[in-house]
Chains A and B, each alone.
Chain A
Amino acid sequence: MGIDLVEGRDLYVDENVVYMRTTQGPRRVDVIYRRIDDAFIDPLTFNPDSALGVPGLMTAYRAGNVVLANAVGAGVADDKSVYTYVPDMIRFYLSEEPILKNVPTYRCSEEDDLKYTLEHLSELVVKEVHGSGGYGMLVGPASTKAEIAAYAERLKADPAGFIAQPTLALSTVPTYVERGIAPRHVDLRPFVLVGDEVRIVPGGLTRVALKEGSLIVNSSQGGGTKDTWVINDRPDPNEK
């Protein structure tokens, strides 16, 4: 995509403007897609011990000289219970009906949903609202009775900390594993750039669960990636 993969030390801030150190001298940076937690992003503003961040980055950000994606504090949108409100947000802000339907999601903070979830644990996927990376979740159909019982206790102790969804049937693709070719579950993450117009990046991230039967595709838990092919039925206007 022609985007440089940088570390904190590749960037510096001068007069509230962010620059990248290149072999052709400093190059101004307008947008940073960052993969570092808020606390480590700028040692002058947050954790002073951070060696990962860029000193002065937040000052440049406040001066409007650089866009951070995702913005500091945006982690609140990662709360999985926010997802359940997205259709309402669309109706409220856009006065439109959502085109893509949500996966039915149960908010365990609500009594009825909690009751339903507890009764159907063996069919559902239950996730912590603050969780990520496929950690701390229960995949009902793939769990033992003891695991389900233990998870039910966690759920009852803090219902607002969980949401539940029906187990989705992920597609499988042939995957090269130790004993040859075998089916493994995959999901696809498309990337959408929203600016003056909405563009879908050609391609995407296909994640694959490398353990047999597993639905957890997260790379932090041994998931892998696969090449993604986008088949065009119309000629690409960028191609001559």
Chain B
Amino acid sequence: MLSRTADHLYWMSRYVERAESLARLLEIGHRLAIMPGEDDRNEWSSTVIITRCAEDFYNSYDEANEANVTEFIGLRNDHPASIPVCLENARTNGRAVRVALTTSMWECLNSTWIDLPAQRQKAESASNIVDYLDWVKERSMQFTGATTSTMLRRDAYFFVMIGMLLERADNTASLLDVKYHLLLPDHEEIGGTLDFYQWSAILRAVTANRAYYSLYRGALKPWQIVEMLTLRSEVPRSLVGCLGGVIDYLGRLSDMYGERKESLRIANALYADLAYCRTDDVFKQGLHEFLTDFVRRNNELGEQIQRDYLI
């Protein structure tokens, strides 16, 4: 397969996944914003930090508030942390390799792109923003569904899945890190009401609240939420869950090509560290440090995959 083809496939699914994740991130902000509380809250500025485009943001806006952040992520199209930009990039990448996609995949990407302007316009009124975010998530899930149910299990499919899972792992780490940047006001206790709401919003944003109750039963406990989204392999958006998929597909690629590359070694090392990590270790290291370290290694893995296969 041409490296360029694989590169387009890989980025196509990364962008679809990123659009979904940005929608989930905005959803956390909106959930937190409707919670009762004081004026000194900062859910919107933490949202901006997580996009990694804070500089772009503060070039255009003075203040991180609901209206500005929603516009920035949901509607604008002049920076990389924008949902419309991600959906457009996904479609552009897919279009370049249309014959490598199934009709269902292409139709999904293309009709998403066609419907985008109308959806975006609707979302300009604040009351519709949740519908818009639901639409983005739905389109992404339809794309994943089309991919897994129609694509031949060969190298093209492996590249699509590797891109999707790497991006998803990165996004889960970022979403969890929201909690680090969400400072609790002085008079709020750790384990207090606001703390509880914040954790609960994160759980809901990754659609894992039911999963939580079936894994842990009982009330929400922050360390269990962290454990679940990082170290539990049954959870499809957990770090270890995503990396398990990545090593699986990289392994199948190696079998198909008859050659083991450096990226497979790096991926296995990262997976093993997660698989044998204890929840205590995460907190000993510090959640933020643990997540930052993971994101860095996940990025390095992405770069190595790029060098091994995509250029």
Measured CB to CB, the residues of A under 8 A from B are 4, 6-7, 9-10, 20-24
Contact = CB atoms under 8 A, between A and B. Distances in A.
B41 interface: no
A90 B155 CA distance: 49
B35 interface: no
A21 B306 CA distance: 13
Given A20-B2, A23-B257, 18 more contacts: A4-B2, A6-B2, A7-B4, A9-B4, A10-B2, A10-B4, A21-B2, A21-B3, A21-B4, A21-B311, A22-B2, A23-B1, A23-B2, A23-B3, A23-B309, A23-B310, A24-B257, A24-B259
B6 interface: yes
A188 B311 CA distance: 39
Chain B at the A interface: SS class? helix
A23 B250 CA distance: 12
Contacts of B155: 23
A7 B3 CA distance: 11
Contacts of B1: 22-24
A75 B53 CA distance: 52
Interface string B153-194: 001000100000000000000000000000000000000000
A23 B252 CA distance: 14
Contacts of B259: 24
Contacts of B311: 21
6 contacts: A9-B4, A10-B4, A23-B6, A23-B159, A23-B309, A24-B1
Interface string B247-262: 0000000000101000
A26 to B, nearest CB: 10
A9 B8 CA distance: 14
Interface of B: 1-4, 6, 155, 159, 257, 259, 309-311
A20 B4 CA distance: 10
Best-surrounded residue of A10, A20, A21 (most CB of chain B within 10 A) = A21
Nearest to B309: A23
Nearest to B159: A23
A30 B247 CA distance: 35
Contacts of A22: 1-3
A25 B194 CA distance: 54
A18 to B, nearest CB: 14
Contacts of A20: 2
Contacts of A10: 2-4
A24 B1 CA distance: 8
A23 B259 CA distance: 11
A105 B1 CA distance: 46
A7 B8 CA distance: 14
A127 B309 CA distance: 49
Contacts of B309: 23
Contacts of B4: 7, 9-10, 21
Nearest to B155: A23
A218 to B, nearest CB: 23
Contacts of B310: 23
Contacts of A6: 2
Contacts of A23: 1-3, 6, 155, 159, 257, 309-310
A22 B3 CA distance: 4
Nearest to A21: B3
A85 B311 CA distance: 48
Q: Which 6 A-B pairs have the closest CB atoms?
A: A21-B3, A23-B309, A23-B1, A23-B6, A24-B257, A10-B4
B239 to A, nearest CB: 26
Best-surrounded residue of B1, B4, B259 (most CB of chain A within 10 A) = B4
A6 B5 CA distance: 10
A7 B6 CA distance: 14
A6 to B, nearest CB: 7
A22 B2 CA distance: 4
A219 B159 CA distance: 34
A23 B257 CA distance: 9
B263 to A, nearest CB: 12
A4 B155 CA distance: 16
A4 B97 CA distance: 12
A32 to B, nearest CB: 14
A4 B100 CA distance: 12
A9 B7 CA distance: 13
